[in-house]
Amino acid sequence: MIVAWKCWISWWSTSFFAMLGLKSTVIGQIGYSVIEEIEIGTAVGNLVHDLQIDYGMLLNRKFQINFDTKTQYFDINRRNGILYIINRIDREELCGGRVICEIKLAIVMDMPLEVFQIQIQVLDMNDNSPSFPEDKSIFKIAESVLPGASFPLEAAYDPDVGSNALCSYDLSPNDFFTIETPSKDFRSRSLVLVLAQTLDREEQAAHLLTLTATDCGTPKRSGTTQIEIIVQDANDNPPMFTQSIYRVTIPENYVVGGLIVVVSATDMDEGENGAVRYLFSSITPLSIKQLFQIKEKSGEISLKGQLDYEERTSYEIQVKAKDNGQLVMTGHCKVVINITDVNDNAPEIRVTTLPGSVKEDSMPGFVIALFTVTDKDSGSNGQVVCQIPVNLPFYLDSMFTNYYSLVLKHALDRELVKEYNVPVTAVDGGFPKLFTVAYISFQVGDVNDNPPIFAESSYSFAIEENIHRGTVIFQVSALDPDQGKNAQITFSLLDSFVDGISVSHFISIHPDSGQIVSLNCFDYEKTQIVHFFIEVKDCGSPSLSNTVNITVFVQDQNDNSPEVLSPLPNSEMSLRSVKPGQIVSKVRAVDADSGYNALLSYQLHPLTNTTLFNIDFNTGDIRIARNIQTTEENTHKLVILVKDHGHPPKSTVAALLVSIMEASEETDEDHIVLVKHEHPTTGSNEYLIIAIAFIFSTLVFIVLFYSAFKFYLDFKNTDPLHRVEDFEYMISHN
């Protein structure tokens, strides 16, 4: 769409030509409107018509076009005065989010110098969809949050303006949330998700919503984002300090940075709701904060500045423990730090109760030992503070003055530390300070908290198929880091099947040593790979166990002799007119083994006439070695030795009876006749014999038929009359 508007004025333009040092008369001004993304080459307007100038001005006078933009978007056709588009116009790129977007240009003509101003308003088209900065937003909201709570969202952005701009938001239907836009200007980045109804994590732990932003263009464009609401358990337990008031006494010359006391609070909630942070109360005076500091994670309060007994003899510090829940809950305690004067007697520590051992599964808060401290000094010089190293899993709990308990802070692990010697330091408040160190020693009692672990994640090994019964074929090992019965392990074979037979039929495992023993041998010809599992179990209560996969590769042994397929036992063969090198028979054999154990070779036994016959070592083909002499024996027994290449090799003997017949006068062809088999044949040999018998029978039939036909012709030719008639018939026929 292109719209033209114009007005005629005559005024001096100083701003445009200020840089040229010229003063020019603005003869005319005209305005057009074009829509963005319009096709290149589109005519915007006819300047000759709209500015009421003649064509001669364009053709005969020099002129130039000056733009207020870096890119030249328009040009003028000198022949007809048409202003047309030469570059793509993107309103959002040109003017951003401004409501009015204009391109100003000036046509400057010389002789005389005249200026025509042109303003082209670029109209917006709905070529941009609203888009959200994130494809998905995740909110974690506690189920205790009350309806009306709002959660800020990143609003959508649409670079278009006017009616093409973003104008509405829609949230997928649900009973719990609504969308509100505090500002009526949808281009504002203000957008909130409002809770309309109380959440219940037990009924629905998560909500997946779709927020759609739509513009008012034609056609409408929209963009979406996903909002995932994860309902969290309510933070309904505040942290509870082990003591409401912690009292500690230190001398006024206490070392800066020294640990004063450790406050401890527990939260019955889980996760972040149960994670505790320690801070000084907000009402704590600056003077106390300059003297003391607290570690947020451990609750350790230490000295930050120098104390002065004459200035102040005691301090009270309000300490709060906060959890990390969304709705933070807080517990409070008070720490009283008394400052003492000089001291000349060291404190004394006396342990009253001490167990022999502490089980590693003892719960935090378990009292390990009780002890008392005394100081012969009086007043503040007799006040004693006890402490232990902060890197130990214990803390000291003062039940009342001078009575302490060593308390378990968190679970022990005997596999890491088997024994503890806890140094308890009792420091009085004198000056100079005196202290005493006593050691509380105890063993960590084992519990069965570690399953046995195999040395390897899986095992594989190879055995020969005919291994002897009772042979140790492999050994597995495992280790249990526990102690005593908890570390005693036994091995057992988990039931599985090999070709339908339980694996326990073939092997067993020694329960103590882990040795795998052969019970029955495997047959490689049936099974090449065996898989089974071994379980290791400790003797603790309850018992812990682990399993490992065992893969056994069965290796072939040469335990099968070759089996001769042909010739069959007691086979006989007749030869007639055979030539040297001619194959007279083939020995075929197979071996059930594999590899070299099944690789066969063939040779004639020394009992055979090896001067007349030979056999191919690899194929078993039997050939005539030379011409048969008339003085040769008529019958020869061939003994063939078939042998494999195993270690040691196995062999089989085959026998073939060969009869040599004199050459027949009826035929000059070589002839081999299979005389008989005492046993019926099977398989391919049976078909071979049937084929040979069929061919032989056919040849006999042809010979007999030919002999009978020849005899018939000879009989007819004995009658002269018939012979003449036949002759005459043949002549006349031809």
Provide the pLDDT for residue 718.
Answer: 44
Q: How confident is the model at residue 726 (pLDDT cuts 50, 70, 90)?
A: very low
> CA 115, CA 24: separation in Å to the nearest integer?
7
Domain that holds residue 356: 342-416+423-432
Same domain, 427 and 509: no
Same domain, 245 and 292: yes
Same domain, 265 and 323: yes
Same domain, 98 and 37: yes
Sequence-ordered list of residues with C-beta below 8 angstroms from that of 198, at least 6 positions apart, any chain:
143, 145, 146, 147
Instruction: Pick the closest to residue 378 from 343, 404, 348 (CA basis).
Output: 343
Please name the amino acid found at residue 380: S
SS (H, E, C) 363-430: CCCCEEEEEEEECCCCHHHHCEEEECCCCCCEEEEEEECCEEEEEECCCCCCCCCCEEEEEEEEEECC
Same domain, 373 and 400: yes
pLDDT single digits (tens) 536-589 = 999 988 999 999 999 999 887 787 888 888 888 878 888 777 788 888 888 888
pLDDT single digits (tens) 465-522 = 888 888 999 999 999 998 889 999 999 999 888 888 888 889 999 999 999 999 988 8
Q: Is there a contact between 254 and 338 (Cβ–Cβ < 8 Å)?
A: no
Same domain, 62 and 168: no
Q: Count Cβ atoms within 10 A of the Cβ of residue 733 and give its class: 0-12 exposed, 13-18 middle, 19 or more buried.
A: exposed
Domain end marker among 525, 555, 585? 555
Q: Is there a contact between 388 and 398 (Cβ–Cβ < 8 Å)?
A: no
3-state secondary structure of 358: strand
**Residue 602 maps to a domain:** yes
CA dihedral defined by 598, 604, 606, 610, rounded to 10 degrees? Answer: -160
Provide the pLDDT for residue 711.
Answer: 63
pLDDT single digits (tens) 261-300 = 999 999 877 788 889 999 998 878 898 999 999 999 999 9
**Residue 404 maps to a domain:** yes
Helices (H), 430-535: none
> CA 356, CA 7: separation in Å to the nearest integer?
107
Query: Rg for the chain (alpha carbons), in Å?
Result: 55
Terminal CA-CA length for the chain = 106
Which secondary structure element, helix H or strand E, spans residue 94, and what is its range? helix 91-95
Provide the pLDDT for residue 208.
Answer: 94
Q: Is there a contact between 44 and 103 (Cβ–Cβ < 8 Å)?
A: no
CA 684, 690, 693, 698 dihedral sign is negative
Sequence-ordered list of residues with C-beta below 8 angstroms from that of 704, at least 6 positions apart, any chain:
none
Return the exposure string of 163-175: e unless at least 16 CB atoms fall within 10 Å of the residue's CB, then b. Answer: ebbbbebeeeeee
Q: Domain with 212 in it: what CATH number?
A: 2.60.40.60
Provide the pLDDT for residue 212.
Answer: 93
Which secondary structure element, helix H or strand E, spans residue 291, and what is its range? helix 286-291
> CA 60, CA 71: separation in Å to the nearest integer?
27
**Residue 210 maps to a domain:** yes
Lowest mean pLDDT among 139-148, 231-240, 255-264, 280-289: 231-240
Pairing label, strands 245-251, 330-340: parallel
**Residue 645 maps to a domain:** yes
**Residue 442 maps to a domain:** no
> CA 376, CA 441: separation in Å to the nearest integer?
26
Q: Is there a contact between 322 and 328 (Cβ–Cβ < 8 Å)?
A: yes
Q: Which residue has the higher pLDDT, 573 or 260?
A: 260
> CA 126, CA 222: separation in Å to the nearest integer?
11
Same domain, 12 and 118: yes
Same domain, 119 and 7: yes
Provide the pLDDT for residue 437.
Answer: 94
Same domain, 50 and 119: yes
Sequence-ordered list of residues with C-beta below 8 angstroms from that of 91, at least 6 positions apart, any chain:
36, 101, 122, 123, 124, 125, 161
Q: How far, in Å, are 133, 429, 466 from residue 530 at the CA level?
A: 58, 76, 15
Rounded to an integer, the average pLDDT of 439-448 is 90
> CA 511, CA 528: separation in Å to the nearest integer?
27
Would you say residue 341 has pLDDT above 80?
A: no
**Residue 441 maps to a domain:** no
Rounded to an integer, the average pLDDT of 364-383 is 84
Instruction: Pick the closest to residue 198 from 253, 276, 143, 279 (CA basis).
Output: 143
Domain end marker among 300, 315, 340? 340
Domain end marker among 521, 555, 589? 555
Provide the pLDDT for residue 674.
Answer: 43
Same domain, 212 and 282: no
Q: What is the mean pLDDT of the chain?
A: 81
Which secondary structure element, helix H or strand E, spans residue 699, and what is its range? helix 683-716
**Residue 667 maps to a domain:** yes
Same domain, 89 and 104: yes
> CA 386, CA 378: separation in Å to the nearest integer?
17
Provide the pLDDT for residue 344.
Answer: 59
Lowest mean pLDDT among 179-183, 326-330, 391-395: 179-183
| Strand partners for 335 | 246, 317
Q: How far, in Å, are 311, 424, 436 from residue 432 at the CA level?
A: 18, 20, 14
> CA 159, CA 90: separation in Å to the nearest integer?
11
| Strand partners for 13 | 24
Q: For the chain, how many structural domains are there in total?
A: 7
Would you say residue 147 has pLDDT above 80?
A: yes
Would you say residue 709 has pLDDT above 70?
A: no
> What global pTM score does this model have?
0.38
Number of H helices, E strands in the chain: 6, 54
- Residue 690 tokens read as 């049937």
Same domain, 22 and 68: yes
**Residue 438 maps to a domain:** no
- Residue 119 tokens read as 């303003």
> CA 449, CA 315: separation in Å to the nearest integer?
46
